[in-house]
């Protein structure tokens, strides 16, 4: 047929998986390896294995694809999900003659999950084939994030469905401008540059301290920061009157730098997370455990 290669769909969570295909293949590393080998035995064309995110750990199926001879992997496919329920009819969506089934969740919301799984494979010492990054890519900036975390290229579907193919032209322009601004000669120069910055939680510096700071010039006094911190975090806000107006301020000794206030704040620049140097030496959880094993 003249095709340039194959992408094996070991990721689709609905329709195919019920028939022993799609995610049913990608969730069992032995099947992933076996079927990839079958394809490589009968074709010299490049083979990409598309992995499912509906697993506990992405590295075993990634390694299995590599063991089977895959030339690359792509991830992530969509995530098992139920869209919702019509609370009047009490029938879940999509309503198919009064019944429903789970589908595949995609779009902007899955990007953090995709970035994590791409970086997990990129960090694995035994995994060394290219990664095609997929999941929630809407802008050139999204694409850059995937590239920095180890993807050799990216794929876009949902955003094209929403905005059309012209969005790809905008992504290319934005990516080229970014490369020029950062003085990179090629997109290949940024692939994986952030991977070494990803580690396990137990290796992070426990003595790295940040505190929230409120900029009254940008504060609109909506008090969302106070409500969020009071009800969902560490009760680190109080109010102070400045020039006859009531502003939230941070009680620094109570603030743990969780960033919740900055996340809920609707006014850009109103809340910043500022590094506070307490003078302590860097120390990870593992190091602390070694000092105090009990």
Tokens of 58: 């992405």
β-bridge pairing 131-134 and 153-155:
parallel
Catalytic residue among 12, 225, 261, 265: 12
DSSP string, 97-115: TTB---EEE-SGGGHHHHH
219 is catalytic: no
Centre a 10 Å sphere on the Cβ of residue 269 and count the other Cβ atoms it contains: 10
DSSP string, 209-245: EEEEEE-TTT-----HHHHHHHHHS---EEEEEETTE
Cα separation, 103 vs 79, in Å, equals 8
Cα separation, 226 vs 232, in Å, equals 10
Positions marked catalytic: 12
């Amino acid at each position: 047929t003249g095709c340039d290669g194959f992408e094996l769909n070991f990721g689709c969570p609905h329709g195919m998986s019920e028939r022993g295909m799609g995610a049913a293949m990608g969730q069992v590393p032995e099947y992933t390896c076996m079927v990839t080998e079958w394809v490589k035995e009968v074709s010299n064309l490049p083979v990409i294995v598309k992995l499912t995110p509906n697993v506990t750990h992405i590295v075993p199926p990634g390694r299995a694809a590599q063991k089977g001879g895959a030339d690359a992997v792509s991830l992530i496919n969509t995530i098992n999900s139920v869209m919702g329920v019509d609370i009047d009819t009490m029938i879940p969506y999509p309503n198919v003659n009064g019944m429903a089934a789970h589908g595949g969740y995609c779009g902007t919301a899955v990007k953090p999950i995709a970035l994590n799984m791409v970086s997990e494979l990129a960090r694995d010492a035994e995994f060394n084939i290219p990664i095609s990054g997929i999941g929630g890519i809407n802008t050139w900036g999204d694409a850059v994030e995937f590239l920095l975390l180890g993807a050799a290229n990216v794929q876009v579907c949902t955003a094209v469905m929403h905005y059309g193919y012209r969005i790809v032209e905008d992504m290319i322009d934005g990516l080229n401008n970014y490369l020029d601004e950062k003085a990179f000669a090629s997109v290949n120069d940024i692939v994986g540059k952030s991977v070494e910055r990803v580690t396990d939680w137990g290796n992070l510096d426990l003595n790295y301290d940040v505190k929230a700071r409120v900029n009254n010039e940008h504060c609109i006094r909506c008090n969302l920061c106070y409500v969020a911190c009071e009800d969902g975090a560490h009760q680190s806000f109080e109010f102070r009157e400045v020039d006859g107006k009531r502003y939230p301020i941070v009680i620094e000794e109570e603030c743990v730098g969780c960033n919740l206030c900055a996340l809920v704040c609707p006014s850009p620049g109103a809340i910043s997370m500022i590094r506070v140097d307490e003078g302590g030496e860097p120390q990870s959880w593992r190091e602390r455990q070694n000092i105090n094993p009990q």
